[in-house]
Amino acid sequence: EQFHVRSPNTNFRVLIVVDGLSVFSKTYDEIREIQQNSPELSAFAELDEDGDLTGFYIASLRNIPYEDSILVRVQNIDLLPVTFSQLFAKYSIKE
C-alpha cells in the first residue's frame, strides 16, 4: 500500500508489480518530474531539522492498490554500487 526509499543518491528506479502485472517503473528523476500531478507520489532531497540537506534522497509511493500480491523492487541504475539505508513498506495481509 505504501513504499518509501531513502538513498544516498538519485540513481535508482522503483519497479512495482501488482497481481503479476508490471504497473510502475520510474526513476527518482521521473517520479520527481510527475509528482506535482499525483498526491500518491513524491521525491525530494531530505532536509534535517535546521533545513539543511542531509545528502539523502527520498522517494515515496502511497495508495498502491492490489488484490493478491505486490512486489516492489528498487534497482540501482548507476555503475557504482549503492547501499539503500532505509526501505519502508506498509501493506495489509489479505485473507
Q: How confident is the model over 20-36, as pLDDT tens digits?
A: 999 999 999 999 999 99
CA distance 20 to 44: 29
Q: Tell me, what's the pLDDT at 94?
A: 74
pTM for this entry: 0.88
- Identity of the amino acid at 80: L
Q: Are 28 and 43 in contact (CB under 8 A)?
A: yes
Q: Kindly tell me if the per-residue pLDDT of 93 is higher than 90.
A: no
Q: Tell me, what's the pLDDT at 26?
A: 98
CA distance 71 to 92: 13
Residue labelled with grid coordinates 513498506? 89
Question: 2-7 and 53-62 as β-strands: parallel, antiparallel, unpaired?
Answer: antiparallel
Mean pLDDT comparison of 20-34, 57-71, 77-91, highest-scoring range: 20-34
Question: 12-18 and 70-76 as β-strands: parallel, antiparallel, unpaired?
Answer: antiparallel
Average pLDDT, the chain: 94
CA distance 77 to 36: 24
Q: Kindly tell me if the per-residue pLDDT of 54 is higher than 90.
A: yes
C-alpha cell at 5: 526509499
Q: Tell me, what's the pLDDT at 78?
A: 94
User: Averaged over 23-52, what is the pLDDT?
Assistant: 96
